[in-house]
Amino acid sequence: MWEICKVKRPQLSLTALFVALGLVLVPSIRSFADNDEDLAGSGGPLAIRNQQPLQLLFLGFDAEQATVLPKGRGDVRMALSRTNVLLQKNQGGIDATLDLEMTKIGMNFAYGIGHRVELGLELPFYYISGGFLDKTIRGVERAFAAEAKLRRNREEFPDFSVTFDVRKDGIPLFDNNDHVLSPGDLVLRAKGEILKEEKYFPAVTGRVGIKIPTGDADLAFGSGEPDLGAGVILEKGVGPLIFYVNGNLIVPFKPERFSGLDFGPFFSGAVAAEYRLSRRLSAVLQLDAATRPFRHMGNKIFDQELLEVLVGMNVGLARNLSWQLGAAEDVFNSPGADADVTVFTNLGYRF
């Protein structure tokens, strides 16, 4: 059994630690002499899935390249994200209040086994806390006159507090007001190349995944049930531009706590454009979308489609070492249903 740790306040921000690491590493780019070999894994779409806490209960896929690792090659990626969430909606017999910040640390491994197939796994760890972004976000919203329209209730909540309270007809589905550190669900996945990129046609790759319910369902670190998923990845380069399309179908197993709720498969996907500024540096603009496993709830925190715009960059630190960083913001009809803002960074090593 996984041990659940409850602490009152983080001693050191993991986000600040990782950003500091990046600031140390970036100057090292200049110390590597250019050569004729490609920088392994130094590009691609922004590798993060939607971080809305209720969506994280279920299987999800990060946006990926269509490239498959050759036989005998491996990839290790450490992913770190920080998400601020303030959602409150009393609709459809559901009273939901989510006021928290969440740090996610993901360890990702992939290995090429030959025949254009790679296998991988992901194990995330989550830390839910009061965080430190509340005042900053409120200041930004005031500056852009967004608070009155989108976040009227932010002033009603104390800064740096934790509330994860969801009730259906008065019966609690989730009730947590503690700072909590815990592992999430283990994900096993496979990825196989279908078509190589041609002059007029994109590369096409398929992938499948299964979620193993290792996370604590009572603390909302997983649904408590396995999920299955399948997807397709398209990739096409046009000069310095590379376009990516990811589409996925997720089939979740219905948890007992959601019995009586309309529930079913859902879709997720991403469209991204990467512009190569140099062999070591690229900029990415991306749109992520997801439908929901819940149906006809009458509460947008549960059933509103999620749309996010992401911006970021890829840096090739060395031939086998890459760094990615970026930010995601809810857009269109998603404010009030999605996480407010996510900042993230990924450090990858290919061997």
129 within 8 A of 9, measured Cβ to Cβ? yes
Predicted pLDDT of residue 331: 92
| Helix, strand, or coil (residue 51) | coil
How much is the pLDDT for 140?
Answer: 53
The region of weakest confidence among 65-79, 141-155, 249-263, 282-296 is 141-155
CA distance 223 to 216: 8
| pLDDT 10s digits, 296-310 | 889 999 999 999 999
pLDDT of residue 150: 46
Give CA–CA dist 31/132, Å, rounded.
35
Lowest-confidence region among 155-164, 208-217, 238-247: 155-164
Residue 28 has pLDDT above 90, yes or no: no
State mean pLDDT over 228-236.
Answer: 98
Domain annotation for the chain: domains and CATH numbers: 5-15+44-350 (2.40.160.40)
Average pLDDT, integer, range 50-54? 95
Report the distance separating Cα 300 and Cα 277, nearest Å: 40
Confidence of residue 126 (pLDDT cuts 50, 70, 90): very high
Query: For the chain, what is the mean pLDDT?
Result: 85
Type of residue found at 239 = G
Cα(83)–Cα(28) distance, integer angstroms? 29
Per-residue pLDDT at 2: 45
Q: Is it the case that residue 15 has pLDDT exceeding 70? A: no
Is the CA virtual torsion 212, 216, 222, 226 positive or negative?
Answer: positive
Rg of the chain on CA atoms, in Å: 20
